């Protein structure tokens, strides 16, 4: 698991100020000592992208686009790396609409209720 992917952290609470101890030996590890995935599912929801050059990112682990509409963009969605969700069942893209542009997905994705237009490349 890449260092930038969202992860659950042990012993981090709002009462403790919510900051992560970056000096902790296990702080950035993607898996617990028992081998369990520490991924933290995150949702980008109800977002609209119109006439943008670049939509997306490079290292998106445990991140879902839900109800995303992207149209008339150079890249409707660009997604370089990801992983299977820690919860074992979430999808990367859900109930989203894409029209008039390119979708660049470099790895295997789980899609649900994707609404592609006829001019999707």
Residues 34-59 have pLDDT tens digits of: 767 777 788 899 999 999 998 988 87
Residue range 65-82, pLDDT digits in tens: 999 999 999 989 988 888
CA distance 42 to 10: 18
Q: Which domain holds residue 63?
A: 42-116
Residue 37 lies in a domain: no
Residue 83 lies in a domain: yes
- Count of domains forming the chain: 1
Residue 35 lies in a domain: no
Largest CA distance in the chain: 51
The pTM (predicted TM-score) of the whole model is 0.71
């Amino acid at each position: 698991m890449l260092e930038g992917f969202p992860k659950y952290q042990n012993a981090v609470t709002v009462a403790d100020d919510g900051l992560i101890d970056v000096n902790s030996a296990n702080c950035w590890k993607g898996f617990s000592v028992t081998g369990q995935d520490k991924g933290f599912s995150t949702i980008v929801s109800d977002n609209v992208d119109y006439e943008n050059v670049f939509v997306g990112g490079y290292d998106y682990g445990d991140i879902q686009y839900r109800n995303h509409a992207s149209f008339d963009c150079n890249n409707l969605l660009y997604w370089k790396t990801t992983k299977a969700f820690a919860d074992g069942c979430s999808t990367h893209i859900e109930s989203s609409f894409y029209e008039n542009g390119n979708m660049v997905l470099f790895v295997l994705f789980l899609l649900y209720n994707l609404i592609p237009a006829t001019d999707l490349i």
